[in-house]
């Protein structure tokens, strides 16, 4: 066990190394590429026994990863924004074929207009794909979530995205504790399931008539429901073993007597913790809910955690055009019938800065807003 300075990309690469990935398929894209660079260095230095598949595009990257996974290997890839969109067809294939591929996504804004800056819109665009999606608040969580992702994926047989924001996390150094390899090997034994077998040839992704398709989808969604329990228990087990419990689907911070609660996911959370602590010192009853797993959506956990509060301020670094922020909209749906005012704001798109100052201002604005906001209230224009 050692503590070193790592970027989010490096943390993802270290996570993949500790998980002893067997295949990585990758096509370069910014800001995801440093994770691939670090992994290729691990391979070159003889520290990691992994087959690196070079491909001509992101669609092929995930297709190669999917094939490797069907053959039974522990498989990883990393991408962001346009690359993720280009993969989309195979994103759905991987989920429908129930392969435990883990993908790190260094969230970046989507074109057009072209942007290379952080935002969560790319991951949000895959919200219906059937991938489990975890959002990390800091680089330590990137590494820890990578390891938990393989455990979750191989238990429920669904692919997992580990999301961290481009640049804010992918290119920023933080102290990260690297767990002991032997302890990781015990925590994460390879749960190999081979679908492709030369002794017993199978047609994969065969045509399913109306007689069967819906039943397959039902089973896939059941696995997503099962993941709600598994994500929680894996986080608890990991916490016991390595001393960091990232608290399952959501984390409640300073919530005991909270009246006004900030809800968000990703890098905003680490800033929001500072703001909440500050406001608490001034005597304000402010709390924080971190949505760690966006898929499966933790509706039950949110209802339970937010049943006594009076005001919720929910912030989205994404825009679902014609609807509003994804988390805000889904939170309102989840809390339907509960007596609480929910103000939702869209902020920080395409790299517009969200620091502790902005979070403070948005909380103040929300306090002053008498009527509940619409789904598409923009902050910081």
Partner 1 sequence: MAKNLPVVPTAKAGSLMETPTGITWRLQYPVISETCNMCLDCTLFCPDGAIDRKNRKLVLNLSLCKGCGICANECKENAIQMIPEYSGVRGVFG
List the one residue from 17, 38, 98, 295 that touches partner 1 (CB under 8 A).
98
Find the shortest distance in angstroms from Cβ 214 to partner 1.
Answer: 8
> Based on CB atoms, which residue is closest to partner 1, 54 or 217?
217
**According to CB under 8 A, which residues from 185 to 204 bind partner 1?**
195, 201-204
Q: Which of 282, 273, 232, 227 is nearest to 253 (CA)?
A: 273
> Based on CB atoms, which residue is closest to partner 1, 102 or 272?
102
* The one segment of 95-103, 117-125, 249-257, 372-380 that binds partner 1 by CB under 8 A: 95-103
Q: What mask, x for binding partner 1 by CB under 8 A, covers residues 121 to 150?
A: ------------------------------
Q: What mask, x for binding partner 1 by CB under 8 A, covers residues 32 to 71?
A: --------------------------------------x-
Cβ count within 10 A of residue 337: 5
Distance CA 194, CA 208 (A): 21
Cβ count within 10 A of residue 363: 23
Between strands 286-291 and 293-295, the pairing is unpaired
Q: Which of 142, 151, 138 is nearest to 184 (CA)?
A: 151
Find the shortest distance in angstroms from Cβ 223 to partner 1.
Answer: 8
List the one residue from 24, 97, 110, 311 that touches partner 1 (CB under 8 A).
97
> Based on CB atoms, which residue is closest to partner 1, 157 or 280?
157
Distance CA 150, CA 104 (A): 11
> Based on CB atoms, which residue is closest to partner 1, 216 or 378?
216
* The one segment of 78-86, 210-218, 275-283, 333-341 that binds partner 1 by CB under 8 A: 210-218
**According to CB under 8 A, which residues from 150 to 169 bind partner 1?**
157
* Beta-carbon-side half-sphere exposure of residue 23 (alpha carbons within 13 Å): 21
> Based on CB atoms, which residue is closest to partner 1, 72 or 350?
72
Find the shortest distance in angstroms from Cβ 71 to partner 1.
Answer: 12
Instruction: Check if the beta carbon of residue 134 is closer than 8 Å to that of residue 161.
Output: yes
**In sequence order, which residues have a C-beta less than 8 Å from that of residue 80 and are 6 or more positions away?**
29, 30, 31, 32, 105, 106, 107, 108, 122, 166
List the one residue from 189, 210, 283, 337 that touches partner 1 (CB under 8 A).
210
Helical (H) or strand (E) element with 11:
helix 8-18
CA distances from 292 to 265, 269, 296, 322, 377 (A): 6, 10, 10, 25, 23
Distance CA 299, CA 306 (A): 11
Q: Which residues bind partner 1 (CB under 8 A)?
A: 70, 96-99, 157, 195, 201-212, 214-216, 218-219, 222
């Amino acid at each position: 066990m050692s503590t070193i300075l790592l970027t989010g990309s490096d943390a993802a690469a270290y996570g993949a190394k500790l998980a002893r990935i067997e295949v990585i398929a990758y096509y370069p894209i910014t800001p995801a590429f440093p994770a691939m660079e670090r992994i290729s260095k691990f391979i070159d230095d003889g520290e990691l026994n992994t087959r690196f598949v070079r491909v001509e595009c992101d669609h092929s990257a995930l297709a190669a990863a999917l094939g490797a996974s069907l053959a039974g290997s522990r498989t990883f890839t990393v991408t962001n924004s346009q690359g993720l969109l280009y993969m989309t067809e195979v994103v759905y294939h991987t989920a429908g074929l129930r392969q435990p591929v883990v993908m790190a996504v260094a969230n970046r804004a989507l074109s057009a207009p072209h942007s290379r800056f952080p935002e969560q819109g790319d991951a949000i665009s895959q919200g219906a794909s059937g991938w489990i999606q975890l959002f990390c608040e800091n680089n330590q969580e990137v590494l820890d979530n990578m390891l938990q992702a393989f455990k979750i994926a191989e238990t429920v047989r669904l692919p997992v995205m580990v999301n961290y924001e481009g640049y804010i996390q992918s290119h920023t150094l933080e102290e990260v504790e690297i767990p002991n390899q032997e302890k990781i090997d015990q925590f994460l034994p390879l749960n190999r399931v081979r679908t492709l077998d030369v002794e017993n040839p199978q047609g994969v992704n065969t045509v399913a008539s109306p007689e069967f398709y819906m039943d397959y989808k039902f089973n896939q969604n059941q696995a997503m429901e099962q993941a709600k329990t598994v994500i929680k228990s894996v986080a608890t087990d990991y916490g016991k073993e390595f001393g960091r419990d990232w608290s399952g689907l959501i984390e409640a911070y300073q919530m005991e007597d909270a009246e006004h609660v900030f809800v968000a996911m990703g890098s905003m959370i680490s800033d929001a913790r500072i703001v909440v602590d500050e406001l608490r010192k001034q005597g304000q009853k402010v709390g924080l809910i971190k949505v760690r797993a966006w898929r499966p959506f933790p509706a039950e956990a949110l209802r339970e955690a937010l049943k006594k509060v009076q005001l919720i301020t929910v912030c989205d670094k994404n825009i679902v055009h014609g609807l509003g922020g994804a988390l805000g909209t889904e939170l309102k749906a989840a809390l339907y019938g509960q007596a609480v005012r929910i103000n939702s704001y869209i902020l920080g798109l395409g790299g517009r800065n969200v620091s502790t100052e902005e979070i403070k201002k948005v909380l103040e604005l929300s306090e002053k807003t008498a009527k509940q906001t619409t789904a598409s209230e923009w902050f910081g224009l």
